[in-house]
Structure 1
Amino acid sequence: MRRRLVIVFLVPLVAILLTLGGAAGWGAARSIQQAFYAEQLGDLGYFVTSARQSLRSGSSAVVDAEVLRFQEVYGIDVMVFDLAGSVWAGEHDGAVLSDADAERVRLALSGRRAEPPGTVFPWVVADAALVEPVFDDGDVIGAVLVSADVAAPRAAILQQAIVLSVIAVALIGLGVLLVFRLARWVLSPVRRLDEAMVAIERGEMDTRVAEDTGPPELRRMTRVFNGMADEIERVMTRQQEFALNASHELRNPLNALLLRVEHLATGLGAEWRDDVEETREEGRRMVRILETLLGLARGGRSDSTISAVDLATLAARRTEAWRDVAGQRGIALQRAGQSSVMSVTDRTIVESALDAVIDNAVKFSPSGSTVEIGAGREGEMCRITVRDQGPGLTEEEAASAADRFWRSDDSRSVPGSGLGLAIATDLLASVGGELAVTSTEGDGLTVSLLIRDGAAS
């Protein structure tokens, strides 16, 4: 918008300044030319009178002296011709007339007076030679040619052009500065709205814009923006309070459950040792998830738990943890990918995101199918892939699969809220990762957890 305003303001301004500068330059050049030719005509009239007296007396001595003085003092060459066309006075060093000057002399001797100079371009000074017939009692007795040096008027025209160009450039520069300031002033309310939106995007939810500044058209927009910001802040505050309360209230039941597991473990035989240990590990993982949830609710990030993680081992453990749940649905979980994929990331967040993806795959896979879970590395990008054999999605549906509350038309009958992949996406984004959903319709869905090595630092 700023560029458009600058163009709208600047182009007419520059056009006006150039037009006025061109008109001023043309007028100054014409004025200099007219003054130059006026002086020539005055000199021509003076020598016509002197030449008449000299031609009538038959002596060129007086005219020769005047011609010599004019040539030495003013640099003006004067030549007087008799009726036969011969040089009567003012010939110097055997000068030869040009064809144009010879034609002017011939016309003057036939009684034609000198024509006034026509209009020419400002940077051109017309031929400076003028010829006037000499009359005596109505009869032509000779002609006078005056030729002046055009260097002086050309220099004056050039000087005027330079001065006007400098003035025009200065005015255009000043106009550009004024146009930019004007555009900045016009767009200042929009800029304040933009800065407020950027601040809210950074998490400064209390940012607002003054509603008493700017044109009336933007004041309503400002009020709407402030109202929207208030609503967003209210909703986010409620979500944050809910997350804080929920995670805090779940701590006590979880701790009590872990104590009961420890108490029950004392009365079980050795054959239950592996099951008890798995239960303990799941309990500890739930504690870590609650701590992460508390940290995210308080400040948008959990406490730093970045460490070296073997994603292949992590995927294998979560596969084993979900095997019984999948088995109850008649679904087999199969490990795939590389045996070791080391990355620097947050273990709890990756586990939680992977659980959401596995839960989605198990929920929508048909009985008797297989879900493959594995990890791999592609350059600096680590990938955990979960591939099911469900109905799959179209390309348009796959692009929307990670949106909140989105569900395909074919899965409306399956219990769920449509938040699993959206939660996984948010969790991965908090550690600099992302979720990729690809599908071949009728051939299952592949969901990849992309984690840039060391991205969360």
Structure 2
Amino acid sequence: MSVRIRLTLSYAGFLLVAGTLLLAIVWVFLLRYVPSGDIATSGPFVPNRGDLVRAFLPPAAWALLFLLLLGLVGGWVLAGRMLAPLDRITTATRQAAQGALSHRIRLEGRQDEFRELADSFDSMLARLEAQVAEQQRFAANASHELRTPLATTQVLLDVARSDPDADTRVLLERLAEINGRAIDLTQALLLLSRAEQVPFDREEVDLSLLAETAAESLLPLAERRGVAVEVSGDAALTSGSRALLLQLTTNLLHNAIVHNLPSGGTVSVTTASSPGWATLTLENSGEPLPPSEVARYTEPFQRGADRARSDHDGVGLGLAIAARIVHAHGGTLELVPRAEGGLRVTVALPGT
């Protein structure tokens, strides 16, 4: 039986039991005090218990039958009204199962259990729709970026096949470079997809130590590009994954070094601690950046107005990975273009 039928039978049964109990109370507290034999009296006729029972039972039976019918009809109507929000939620669930994630219940009325369930379901659909849209956009971007090295490899192989006298050493160097970039892109994609989904053990981490470690590991890249890196600041303690936060710091510093002036560039890394927060700030020199473009830098494969190209170190996922790691740690990532050129990146994480 459906829930509506069960509720209807429950309402009708409850009403019938309540009526029977009321009649039983009348019997127990009234009729039992009436004598069962003939009552001798010289005046008007006085009915005894049998007379009252014979007069009382037929109306009582009709009353119980009326209560049963009233309970069935009224219970059916009330159950339908009570279950109407569930029908709307079920309809929305079926539409979502068919891929219509833009549908919303938008249940009206007071803030009761059904309204809370409907609002929670709408919020879940909104988050799911945003995640699916992001995944579809990310899959399209990733397919585009992975197709480029594969297509380039195919072209090089076709050229080498058509020219048997070509220098294979140059070909192998180009293929190794393209293959290495494809491997880096694949690893970055895996890290980006896992940044917010994989649970991690939290430990106390000092952002100042991570900044020094990242600066030491990227020092050869900075020297090769003629960029001076300066690390300063106080201890900034936060709670999280040391590996992910080191990846965050490394990605931000790598991005600041690569996207800098052709020569004589600078990168400043500072850490600070304030009540409840630990901050990491990176400032790099460079060309003036329009704020409208800066807002898109945390999207995958974005760098300025163009997509990540093969002539840049990295695969265009540094800031995207950093944004995911910061979000997974409950922090904020702010990108602000500097008036004199370049970018200021501020990471704020909950302090310990």
- Say which structure, 1 or 2, has more relative contact order (CA 8 Å, 6+ apart): 2
State the structure with more CA Rg.
1
Q: TM-score, normalised by structure 1?
A: 0.37
